[in-house]
Amino acid sequence: MFDFGNSNNGQKEAISSANGPVLITAGPGTGKTYTLVQRAIYLIEECGVQPEHLFIATFTEKAAKELITRITNELARCNITANVNEMYVGTFHSLCLRILKENLEYTRLKKNYHLLDAFDQKYTVFQNIYQFRNIPNVDAVLPDSGAWKQSEAICGYVNNLSEELVSPDDLERDVDPAISAMGTILRTYQKLLNDNNLMDFSSIQVETYRLLTEHSEILEELQRKITHLMVDEYQDTNYIQEQLVFLLAGKKKNICVVGDDDQGLYRFRGATIRNILEFPQKFNAGECKVVPLVVNYRSNTDIVDFYNTWMATTEGAKFKFQWGEFRYNKKIVAHTQVKLSSPAVVKLSGVDDEDEWHENILKFIHRLKDSGKLTDYNQIAFLFSSVKHPKVKALADFLEKNQINVYSPRSDMFFERYEVRLTLGCLMLMFPRYVQGLENGDYSTLRPEHITYYRQCIMLANEHLLKPENKSLLRWIRQTGRIHVGLQGTTDYAYSGLLYQLFEYQPFQGMLDTDLNVGVVDIRPSRNLAKLSQIIGKFEYLHRVDTLNGKYININTEKFFNLYIRLLYDGGITEYEDDSEYAPSGCVSFLTIHQSKGMEFPIVVVDSLSNVPRTRNNDLMLQIEARYFKRPAFEPYDQTKYFDFWRLYYTAFSRAQDLLILTCDEDKRTPSNYFRELSEHFQHPRRKNPTRSTRWNGRDSGRCQSIQCCFGRYYHPDNFPCTV
């Protein structure tokens, strides 16, 4: 008899629904991962399914690792011997790569093919931009800007078209010159991949689809081997992923998909909410079992009530829309129905004064810390639509100046870190002719901000080298520079070789020798130096630089700093993220809302309240979608901006366990009307009726009277509740 443990009725039904199509709609905090793990154990223990017959697709590698670990632990607890490594568990991309590697001889790929990441893909197109610029009528497709912007646009187009399985032949035959040019762009790009034995993330899935549809014997073998499929985060899948799932399932139809349509955030990557909403319709009437999970084990009752109301509030003075058929009707219920004496959803802001806002946030954190309710700064997460915004960076700088460490790996601070600037400065000093050209203003491709940055790197390196304890490093850099100035033949090293020699000196050696068990702030320099090493190695691969040659040393060095590093500097680089510890001890987290998905924190502070719903449709792509996508548009174009906006902030609000703070530096446009609508329902303690003149700020104190769920109270940070 299977031990369901503490599973609730919905979870039990989801776990024990072993065969046939199953849709599990899982709201935030409803034990989705637990249910997936227990369902896998149920299939193995109760139904006799061998682990190697299971296919479990997740959204991230972190989620895949967590699933494998928890399944392994559960099997051990149940004394079941099974080889979990044989299971197909991973992201769609990693699972497709596994299938391709097992059948490489049936694909266009040769051994030692190269997989392009997002930057590699754009850089490869950039290096071959002339091929695309020569396409007739390409001006109707590409932006009238530089080669890099055009390369970014090309990659966005081809990724979207590839994942929708659009044929370049069909596009090229279109009478519309722009659509025809788009077809040639797609064909040119595909030829570029073929000629160079390359594959990008989108083409991983395309190649797998082609393999399965063109080689029936391979598909049939996989269908025999894989008896049960489970797909997590199904609301974020795209067309080709849906096709792959149904191909692999075959006639058995043992497909279990799990997701939350209210957390569909990745339309910009081609994901479509229709996959989860239309899933039951893919089968005969009544054949698909739908199991809703609505009991939230994460959040306080007030928080659950708040985000339920957020999703239900679809009409205000400045907006009106209806979910209709584009959302499963649901209401999440908190598992523990406990009302605290203090509200769990509150506001904190400054008024037209960024300094005041910063101080209020600092006081809030200190009050929680001093009360003893906050035992580690990692219990707090700040969520933003982007962590690259100057206001976000200013807040992070302010907190760090006040001894509160901030963990924000996606804030593009990589090139601002001391260890990166020092390394680049030392490397530049090894090429005196390059430094001379920089000082003379010879490099027209560099904008003033690039020149300023490089000069700052050189100044930092000089300051370091002039210290008495660094004489040996200074001597080596000078000697290396003289070699490069007079180089006639070829060295036995390239740029990465110089980097590794540099790492033998202090402070680099000390940074790299850091104990991996120390905090994230202490280990960051080591991780960043490792990342810089990868960046340089990638440059050498992309430009086929194995050694330094006297004939090409100046050209290649200029390419490295003035092209490659410049583009990375402009685009920004994320720092190291530890999948095993998404909230490092001793730091508050600054995360994007997208990045926070799947996470939870005792205290969540949501900013970016000036945002408004925005339409992001591309007219040309809309025409192509209408004519050449395999299925018609699903959600109405004029409504999608509202759908996406509400889903984004629903995801943000539902990360909080004990305390949800809405914060902003208030001005005429902040918060936007979409958040101000709710705040206008507050009643000022000295007013009998709420009015539009009630300020949205952190100073007044009042209760919400007329809306089912509310922000709670206005609080000055000196009187902030400690409800954690």
Indicate whether 378 and 434 sit together in one domain.
Answer: no
In a domain, 593, yes or no: yes
**Rounded CA separation 25/293 (Å):** 6
Give how far Cα 228 sits from Cα of 62, 258, 503, 596, 618, Å.
Answer: 22, 14, 50, 30, 38
Looking at the structure of the chain, the number of domains it has is: 4
Give the whole-angstrom CA distance, residue 694 versus residue 706. 15
pLDDT band at 708 (very low <50, low <70, confident <90, very high): very low
d(CA 254, CA 576): 38
Neighbours of 594 (CB within 10 A): 16
Domain endpoint, select from 544, 571, 598: 571
The pair of three-digit structure tokens given for residue 340, joined into one six-digit string: 């605290």
Residues 429 and 538 in one domain: yes
Residue 293 is inside which H or E element, if any? strand 289-293
CA–CA separation, 640 vs 626, rounded Å?
Answer: 16
**pLDDT of 8 strictly over 90:** yes
- Looking at the structure, tell me whether residues 617 and 712 fall in a common domain: yes
**532, 420 in Cβ contact below 8 A?**
yes
Are 374 and 422 within one domain? no
- Of residues 387 and 575, the one with the higher pLDDT is 387
Q: What is the mean pLDDT of the chain?
A: 88
Q: Are residues 604 and 468 in the same domain?
A: no
Same domain, 140 and 262: no
90 lies in the same domain as 228: yes
Enter the tokens of residue 226: 């894989």
Average pLDDT over residues 213-232: 97
Please indicate, yes or no, if residue 303 is contained in any of the structural domains: no
Global confidence as pTM: 0.87
The answer as to whether 336 is a domain residue is no
Among the candidates 510, 545, 571, a domain finishes at 571
Identity of the residue numbered 70 = R
302 is a domain residue: no
Residue with the larger pLDDT of the pair 78 and 683: 78
Query: What pLDDT, on a 0 to 100 scale, did the predictor assign at position 432?
Result: 96
Q: Would you state the pLDDT for residue 342?
A: 76
**Residue 419 and residue 562 in one domain:** yes
Residues spanned by the domain of 611:
345-410+581-719
Does the pLDDT value for residue 462 go beyond 80? yes
Q: What is the C-alpha separation between 57 and 240, in angstroms, rounded?
A: 14
Q: What are the E-state strand segments in 97-251?
A: 114-115, 198-199, 228-231
**pLDDT, tens only, 602-652:** 999 999 998 999 988 789 999 999 999 999 889 999 999 999 999 999 999
- With respect to residue 315, please indicate whether it lies within any of the assigned structural domains: no
pLDDT at res. 226: 96
From 143-152, 187-196, 691-700, the region with the lowest mean pLDDT: 691-700
Alpha helices (runs of H) in 559-667, residue ranges in sequence order: 566-571, 593-596, 619-628, 637-653
461 shares its domain with 356: no
Mean pLDDT, residues 449-477 taken together: 96
Q: For residue 519, what pLDDT is reported?
A: 57
The residue out of 293, 310, 329 marking a domain boundary is 293
* Strand pairing report for 601-606 and 380-384: parallel
601 sits in which H/E element = strand 601-606
Q: Which two tokens stand for residue 278?
A: 């239309």
Residue 99, CA distances (Å) to 87, 163, 218, 242, 244 in order: 13, 18, 10, 16, 12
Least confident residue range of 44-53, 199-208, 581-590? 581-590
Which pLDDT value is given to residue 699? 33
Do residues 228 and 87 both lie within one domain?
A: yes
Virtual CA dihedral for 411, 414, 418, 421, nearest 10 degrees?
A: -140
Is the pLDDT score of 695 beyond 70?
no
For residue 608, what are the contacts with CB-CB under 8 A and spacing of at least 6? 383, 384, 385, 386, 389, 593
For residue 579, name the pLDDT band (cuts at 50, 70, 90). low
Position 363 in a domain:
yes
Percent of the chain with pLDDT over 70: 91
Q: Are residues 451 and 375 in the same domain?
A: no
Per-residue pLDDT, averaged over 302-311, amounts to 94
Report pLDDT for 168. 97
- Specify the pLDDT at position 291: 97
Query: Residues 155-174: what's their mean pLDDT?
Result: 96
Mean pLDDT of 115-119: 93
How far apart (Å, rounded) are the C-alpha atoms in residues 489 and 492? 10
Q: Does 23 reside within a domain?
A: yes
* Confidence at residue 171, expressed as pLDDT on a 0 to 100 scale: 98
Mean pLDDT of 649-666: 93
For residue 372, what is the domain's CATH number?
Answer: 3.40.50.300
CB atoms within 10 A of CB 75: 19
Residue where the block lists tokens 């299977």: 2
Between 603 and 341, residue with greater pLDDT: 603
Contact 74, 173 (CB under 8 A): no
State the pLDDT at residue 87: 87
Residues 556 and 609 in one domain: no
> Could you give the CA distance from residue 306 to residue 323 in angstroms, rounded to a whole number?
18
Measuring CA to CA, how many Å separate 539 from each of 88, 110, 534?
A: 34, 22, 9
> Domain with 187 in it: what CATH number?
1.10.10
Annotated binding site: 26-33
Q: What is the pLDDT of residues 489-514, one digit of tens each?
A: 999 999 999 999 999 999 999 888 87
Asked, for residue 457, whether it belongs to a domain, the answer is yes
Query: Annotated binding residues for ATP, as ranges?
Result: 26-33
